[in-house]
């Protein structure tokens, strides 16, 4: 049951794809307090209530006990004290005696106090009088989330190759660099499907240009890579360099496509290329214009992009720079004591990503000038929409890989996200585990973190454990920041063990891809907290470091340094699969309850639910070489089970074509196992307990 309530005069953000008529009267469950410029919602929390949601946020799966902000931020240090990351995902759901959720559809700043000030109260402060609020209630939390997902529409599905292993680094400097990376993977038997191109491929950080000294004959290079089954994925930044000799800049100025100051001049923001203008992605013509520019790269064979710095990130504005310089001038010659000294450093540090700048520029929405501060959280989504709308025009039948850093609910229909600049910390591996189900609740299914960690130096054991988790994340991309230790897996002594883990990923793709696409089409979560599947099990309900992956698998990743295993909670009897460094695996039935499960650094452990089996392919060096028609069915059952496998050409969009569905059947009759496939071309083997 979903009810819609309108407060003030909200704009259409594009978050919701279902049309509902608005209710009269007041919001159920929540106390509502409307003052001139704000809406405050409060709701009591009872002792057992768990609060889910908020998508890309810090801390636990249960958000209770902390506070969060809807304020898309470029903050590369995700420590526990942080309250805002890159996305605004304003959906929270309470699960306890009752199950309900609330979605606050507004670009405005929101403060979610979830039992932070008062442990028994959730208090939500919306800094705007205008919002559409959806209230969803159901008998269980899964239904609440599913109804929400139906409201916001089907999630983005990337091409199959985007389920392969992907390598990135800021920054590969040349075609030669990238060739080496690919060659080193191929020669060590490490599967690879994509290499990302960070800002250094561009000519002076100008979007849609390629430096032709570092990348001579780029089109030939793209084809050369394609022949090797490698997709190149270039980055696109939000800011357009101010440069009279750059056509994108000139066209933007001539057509009035950039964000304006109050006096009508183009707003200037300092980012990578120095001074830039921000395209006004709220104008449909500007979206169309910017989107067309991707064609320069798609015409060369590029079929994937990542949109970065689209919160938007602002190193400085001219306004902010001037104010800070004046401040510094005032302090010149002063005897700087405790206050004035910190004022000085604070003033200079505060130039970047200063919210004051959000009032220094305007967007045009339906002919009306609106300050950025009122729309901030929608900017990244609209940049990505520009790209997605363009891809629809270029070829409506073809899937593209698209990732965005900044997001708002609604963008999940156009693109995936990566979770931004994490660090090479064990705590961020755990954060990655916890963020995944929350993101899924908010529609973001194609997602993953920078595996191995972006900032700081990784260690081979952290990278290995991280990969063992990332084997299950739809986006499996190793990425790291400039200046940090090299992090491609072949850099390390035990590269065979790394290769083996990544080869397991490819073995699992028939299962992972099926579960992913089915989750999208059924508005389900691909990653779920155990509480969603075992709501009556009071221990399972509290587990934060194990996840269900699709309908048949549970994972319990190791996320502590030097650990040689961990305690796992099994809510029911399951089959433990231990994947060994020689590529073989052992299976064992494990009882319900807590168990210590050993997992050496190079071993991957996962669990298959009783009465289920999963399809495994033979490994391959790329998804293009993966044979989905030769499968081993691995599982544990008493008598009979079916598996609905989804398998298509990996690039077109006919998701509902019945030929994409293959029913696999296993029948166990005492010791006799028989297997069947609805597609006679599938060659089957079985490994059934
Ligand atoms: O301020 O393009 O999140 O993945 O490598 C850093 C350089 C800008 C931030 C992205 C990161 C990327 C980096 N970018």
pLDDT tens digits, one per residue of 271-299: 989 999 999 999 999 999 999 999 999 99
pLDDT of residue 339: 84
- DSSP per-residue string spanning 43-61: EE--TT-EEEE-SS-SS-S
Q: Which has the closest alpha carbon to 353: 289, 271, 285?
A: 271
Query: Is the shortest distance between the CB of 237 and ligand 1 below 6 Å?
Result: no
Query: What pLDDT does residue 341 have?
Result: 87
Q: How far is the CA of 110 from the centre of ligand 1 (A)?
A: 26
387-442 pLDDT, tens digit each:
999 999 999 999 999 999 999 999 999 999 999 999 999 999 999 999 999 999 99
CA of 308 to the centre of ligand 1 (A): 7
pLDDT of residue 370: 97
Query: Average pLDDT, stretch 27-36?
Result: 95
Tell me: pLDDT of 368 over 90: yes
pLDDT exceeds 90 at position 340: no
Report d(CA 545, CA 540) in Å as an integer.
11
Please, which residues bridge with residue 244 across strands? none
pLDDT band at residue 537, thresholds of 50, 70 and 90? very high
Q: How far is the CA of 414 from the centre of ligand 1 (A)?
A: 21
Mean of per-residue pLDDT scores for the chain:
97
- Return the ligand 1 atom nearest residue 421 CA: 3
Q: What is the pLDDT of residue 347?
A: 87
As a whole number, mean pLDDT of residues 552-570 equals 98
Average pLDDT over residues 245-249: 98
Does position 384 have pLDDT exceeding 90, yes or no?
Answer: yes
**Beta-bridge partners for 33:** 40
Q: Is the CB of 193 under 6 A from ligand 1?
A: no
Confidence of residue 343 (pLDDT cuts 50, 70, 90): confident
- Residue 198 near ligand 1, beta carbon < 6 Å: yes
- pLDDT of 338 reads 84
pLDDT at 164: 98
**Can you tell me which atom of ligand 1 is nearest the CA of 168?**
5
Q: What are phi and psi of 145, to 5 degrees?
A: -70, -40
> Is there an atom of ligand 1 within 6 Å of 421 CB?
yes
Residue 312: predicted pLDDT: 97
- Average pLDDT over every residue of 85-106: 98
pLDDT of residue 674: 95
Q: CA–CA distance from 217 to each of 177, 212, 222, 298 (Å)?
A: 15, 7, 9, 15
pLDDT of residue 431: 98
Question: What SS3 state is found at 38?
Answer: coil
Say what the pLDDT of residue 662 is: 97
Q: Whose CA is nearest to atom 11 of ligand 1?
A: 421
**C-alpha 85 to ligand 1 mean position (Å):** 14
Residues 6+ apart with CB under 8 A from 451: 463, 466, 467, 470, 476, 477, 478, 479
């Amino acid at each position: 049951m979903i009810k819609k309530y309108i407060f003030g005069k909200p704009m259409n953000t594009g978050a919701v794809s279902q049309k509902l008529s608005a209710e009269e009267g007041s919001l159920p469950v929540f106390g509502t307090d409307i003052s001139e410029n704000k809406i405050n919602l409060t709701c009591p929390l009872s002792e057992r209530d768990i609060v889910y949601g908020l998508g890309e946020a810090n801390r636990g799966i249960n958000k209770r006990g902390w506070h969060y902000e809807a304020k898309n931020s470029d903050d590369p240090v995700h420590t526990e004290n942080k309250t805002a990351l890159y996305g605004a995902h304003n959906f929270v759901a309470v699960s306890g005696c009752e199950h309900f959720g609330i979605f606050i559809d507004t670009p405005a700043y929101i403060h979610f106090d979830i039992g932070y000030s008062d442990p028994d109260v959730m208090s939500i402060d919306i800094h705007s009088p205008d919002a559409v609020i959806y209230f969803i209630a159901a008998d269980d939390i899964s239904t609440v989330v599913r109804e929400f997902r139906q409201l916001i529409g089907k999630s983005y599905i990337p091409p199959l190759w985007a389920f392969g292993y992907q390598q990135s680094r800021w920054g590969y400097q040349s075609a030669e660099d990238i060739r080496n990376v690919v060659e080193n993977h191929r020669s060590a038997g490490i599967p690879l499907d994509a290499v990302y191109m960070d800002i250094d491929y561009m000519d002076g950080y100008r979007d849609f240009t390629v430096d032709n000294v570092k990348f001579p004959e780029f089109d030939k290079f793209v084809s050369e890579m394609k022949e090797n089954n490698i997709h190149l994925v270039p980055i696109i930044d939000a800011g357009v360099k101010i440069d009279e000799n750059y056509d994108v800049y000139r066209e933007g100025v001539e057509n009035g496509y950039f964000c304006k100051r109050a006096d009508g001049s183009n707003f200037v923001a300092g980012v990578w290329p120095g001074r830039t203008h921000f395209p006004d992605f709220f104008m449909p013509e500007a979206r169309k214009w910017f989107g067309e520019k991707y064609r320069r790269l798609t015409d060369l064979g590029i079929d994937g992009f990542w949109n970065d710095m689209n919160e938007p990130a602002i190193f400085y504005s001219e306004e902010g720079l001037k104010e800070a310089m004046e401040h510094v001038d005032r302090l010149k010659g002063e005897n700087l004591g405790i206050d004035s000294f910190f004022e000085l450093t604070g003033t200079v540090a505060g130039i970047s990503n200063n919210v004051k700048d959000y009032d220094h520029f305007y967007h045009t929405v339906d002919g009306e000038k609106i300050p950025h501060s009122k729309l901030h959280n929608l900017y990244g989504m609209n940049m990505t929409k520009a790209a997605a709308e363009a891809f629809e025009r270029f070829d409506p039948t073809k899937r593209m890989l698209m990732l965005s850093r900044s997001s708002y609910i609604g963008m999940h229909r156009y693109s995936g996200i990566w979770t931004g600049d994490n660090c090479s910390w064990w705590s961020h591996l755990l954060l990655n585990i916890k963020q995944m189900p929350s993101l899924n609740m908010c529609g973001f299914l194609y997602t993953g973190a920078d595996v191995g960690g972006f900032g700081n130096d990784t260690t081979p054991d952290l990278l290995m454990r991280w990969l063992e988790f990332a084997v299950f994340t739809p986006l499996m991309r190793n990425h790291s920041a400039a200046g940090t230790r090299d992090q491609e897996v072949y850099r390390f002594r035990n590269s065979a063990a790394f290769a083996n883990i990544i080869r397991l990923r490819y073995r699992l793709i028939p299962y992972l891809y099926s579960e992913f696409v089915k989750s999208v089409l059924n508005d389900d979560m691909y990653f779920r907290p155990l509480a969603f599947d075992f709501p009556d099990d009071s221990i399972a309900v509290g587990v934060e470091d194990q996840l269900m992956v699709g309908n048949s698998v549970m994972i319990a990743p190791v996320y502590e340094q030097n650990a040689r295993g961990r305690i796992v909670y099994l809510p029911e009897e399951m089959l433990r699969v231990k994947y060994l460094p020689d590529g073989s695996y052992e299976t064992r039935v494990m009882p319900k309850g807590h168990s210590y499960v050993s997992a050496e650094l190079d071993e991957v452990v996962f669990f298959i639910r009783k009465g289920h089996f999963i399809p495994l392919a033979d490994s391959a060096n790329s998804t293009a070489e993966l044979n989905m028609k030769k499968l081993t069915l691995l599982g544990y059952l008493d008598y009979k089970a079916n598996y609905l496998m989804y398998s298509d050409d990996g690039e077109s969009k006919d998701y509902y074509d019945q030929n994409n569905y293959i029913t696999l059947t296993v029948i166990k009759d005492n010791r006799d196992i028989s297997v069947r496939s609805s597609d006679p071309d599938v060659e089957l083997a079985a490994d059934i307990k």
